[in-house]
Amino acid sequence: MKGWQYLLSGIVLIALVIQLVPGELPSTEINNPGDLIESGIVSIEVAGLLRTSCYDCHSNETKFPWYSYVAPFSWLVAKDVKDARKELNFSVWQDYDMVEKLKKLDDISIEVREGEMPMPIYTAIHTSAKLSDAQRQLIVQWAEDAMDIVVEEDEESGPEEG
């Protein structure tokens, strides 16, 4: 064999061997009673935007593309989705207390306004998740309004302490 043939077989071999490295994608769940959209705090329009641009990482309803089962992409996807859900998981929205909800809504408005979210590495591949300026503005406005609603709801349900 020639030099480049050795190199190629080496690369193929490594690509095969890394598939054996154990690693699991986060599990998915379609039925989420505590979901944000189920809670009725989101308009149909904004719900659609959140579903197409956020829910793949920030919910239990991740739709994993085929390459996400192939190492080394699987490692990246697994880590990103795990981190994303830890930071904000719309599927368990109702489990967050009032201050948690406010912090997350505030973060949403900041990160979406500044273009930090959805992450450019994600929209580069999932082009349908890209947000226009008008769509960004819709989400930002929703998040800011929702903060007021969250506070009002909490006051109606009565002060818990202090």
Partner 1 sequence: MAALLGLLFFQGTTKPEDKATSSHLAFSPDMPANIKAIVDQKCYGCHNAESKNEKGKAKLDWDAFEASKKAKQMATKGKIAEALEAGEMPPAKFLENKPEGKLTEAELATLLEWSAGKKKSN
Site of interaction with partner 1 (CB under 8 A): 98-100, 102-103, 105-106, 144, 147-148, 150-151, 161-162
Q: Pick between residue 80 and residue 144 the one whose CB is nearest to partner 1.
A: 144
One DSSP character per residue, 41-73 reads -S-HHHHHHHHHHTTTTSSS-----GGGGSTTH
Nearest approach, Cβ of 151 to partner 1 (angstroms)?
A: 5
How near is the Cβ of 148 to partner 1 at its closest, in Å? 5
Residue 73, C-beta contacts closer than 8 angstroms, at least 6 positions apart: 67
Two structure tokens written together for 158: 């009565």
CA–CA separation, 132 and 80 (whole Å)? 23
Q: Which is closer to partner 1, CB of 133 or CB of 160? A: 160
CA distances from 121 to 76, 124, 126, 130 (A): 11, 5, 9, 11
Give the nearest distance from C-beta 15 to partner 1 in angstroms.
40
Q: Which is nearer to partner 1, 29 or 100 (CB)?
A: 100
Cβ nearer to partner 1, comparing 29 with 148: 148
Alpha-carbon span 133 to 58, nearest angstrom: 21
Q: How far is the CB of 107 from partner 1 (least distance, A)?
A: 8
